[in-house]
């Protein structure tokens, strides 16, 4: 098994467009850190938008963060419940999300926590239909940690919203939109969504589906900070640590 870098995964050009990437791994395998690390490498060239979670993972990011709240009012607290003062830019439409987003920063997008999936469907639709060259960068990269909230595994009667999201995902590549997602196991995701990821990354504790061209043993042998990448290229890679500096709770 060859050691590779993620360079090819991160390179973009108009002809090849956006990239859809899913990372899998058990709790504590470094999924969130991996996403933050990818964003850190892309932030100068692409509008990087990180999904705001109730656990404030963006506070692990080593560089500047800009918090955008779309039609919601997130409040930030420390581990004892004391409010912390975090600058939040409120935006009411998706055009403003991209207008307010800044290159070089991690732009963290909070949507209403209730019915959040609905807002992601609308945002995805907006991204597919946007004019690419009117924003700070034509390329947009979405970082959707805990993506099972958006496209959960379900038996046949998948919700209409989820199907709509998957339909937009299909268009992302041609619209210079990339999506880097993470969840624990491939079977936590809707199979239609799963099929859209051109690149898959397996970290510690991930189960390898039958259709992959390598065995479970390969992933079982990984240490923290190592992963297996598969897609148009294939190999083992290492990634860095983005440790939690402080506990933040968002409500």
Ligand X SMILES: Nc1ncnc2c1ncn2[C@@H]1O[C@H](COP(=O)(O)OP(=O)(O)OP(=O)(O)O)[C@@H](O)[C@H]1O
Could you say whether residue 184 binds Mg ion (CB under 5 A)?
A: no
157 or 243: whose CB is closer to ligand X? Answer: 243
Task: Out of 62, 195, 221, 240, point to the residue binding ligand X (CB under 6 A).
Answer: 240
Please report how close the Cβ of residue 184 comes to Mg ion at its closest, in angstroms. 9
Could you say whether residue 224 binds ligand X (CB under 6 A)?
A: yes
Could you say whether residue 29 binds ligand X (CB under 6 A)?
A: yes
- Phi, psi angle pair for 89, to nearest 5°: -100, 120
201 in Cβ contact with 34 (< 8 Å): yes
Task: Out of 22, 29, 30, 32, point to the residue binding Mg ion (CB under 5 A).
Answer: 32
Q: Is 144 left (phi over 0), alpha (psi -120 to 50) or beta?
A: beta
Q: Which stretches of 57-194 are assigned E, i.e. beta strand?
A: 65-70, 76-78, 88-91, 106-110, 140-144, 177-183
Measured from the Cβ of residue 113, the count of other Cβ atoms closer than 10 Å reads 15
197 in Cβ contact with 181 (< 8 Å): yes
Could you say whether residue 25 binds ligand X (CB under 6 A)?
A: yes
- The window from 32-40, 45-53, 100-108, 217-225 that contacts Mg ion (CB under 5 A) reads 32-40
Could you say whether residue 30 binds ligand X (CB under 6 A)?
A: yes
30 or 52: whose CB is closer to ligand X? Answer: 30
- The window from 28-36, 83-91, 123-131, 156-164 that contacts ligand X (CB under 6 A) reads 28-36
Q: Count the site residues for ligand X by CB under 6 A.
A: 14
239 binds, among Mg ion, ligand X, none (CB under 5 to 8 A by kind): ligand X
178: closest CA among 229, 139, 125? Answer: 139
- The window from 71-79, 113-121, 154-162, 235-243 that contacts ligand X (CB under 6 A) reads 235-243
Please report how close the Cβ of residue 30 comes to ligand X at its closest, in angstroms. 3
Q: List beta partners, residue 49.
A: 107, 142
Please report how close the Cβ of residue 88 comes to ligand X at its closest, in angstroms. 23
Q: Which stretches of the chain are assigned E, i.e. beta strand?
A: 20-24, 47-51, 65-70, 76-78, 88-91, 106-110, 140-144, 177-183, 199-202, 226-230, 235-238, 248-250
Measured from the Cβ of residue 58, the count of other Cβ atoms closer than 10 Å reads 25
| Contact residues for Mg ion, defined by CB under 5 A | 31-32
| Contact residues for ligand X, defined by CB under 6 A | 25, 27-33, 224-225, 239-241, 243
């Amino acid at each position: 098994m060859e050691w590779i870098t993620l360079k090819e995964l991160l390179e973009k050009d108009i002809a090849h467009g956006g990239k859809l990437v899913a990372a899998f791994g058990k709790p504590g395998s470094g999924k969130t850190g991996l996403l933050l690390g990818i964003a850190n490498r892309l932030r100068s060239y692409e509008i990087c938008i990180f999904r705001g979670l109730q656990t404030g993972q963006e506070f692990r990011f080593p560089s500047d963060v800009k918090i955008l709240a779309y039609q919601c009012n997130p409040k930030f607290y420390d581990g004892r419940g004391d409010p912390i003062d975090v600058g939040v830019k409120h935006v009411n439409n998706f055009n403003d999300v991209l207008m307010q987003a800044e290159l070089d920063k991690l732009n963290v997008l909070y949507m209403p926590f209730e019915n959040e999936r609905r807002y992601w469907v609308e945002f995805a639709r907006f991204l597919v239909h946007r004019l690419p060259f009117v924003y700070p960068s034509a390329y947009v990269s979405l970082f959707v940690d805990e993506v099972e909230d958006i496209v959960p595994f379900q038996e046949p009667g998948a919700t209409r919203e989820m199907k709509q999201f998957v339909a937009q995902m299909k268009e992302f590549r041609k619209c210079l939109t990339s999506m880097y997602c993470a969840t624990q196991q491939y079977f936590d995701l809707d199979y239609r969504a799963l099929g859209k990821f051109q690149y898959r990354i397996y970290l510690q504790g991930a189960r390898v589906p039958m259709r992959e061209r390598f065995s479970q043993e390969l992933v079982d042998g990984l240490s923290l900070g190592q992963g297996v990448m598969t897609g148009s290229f294939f190999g083992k890679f290492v990634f860095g640590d983005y440790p939690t500096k402080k506990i933040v709770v968002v409500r």
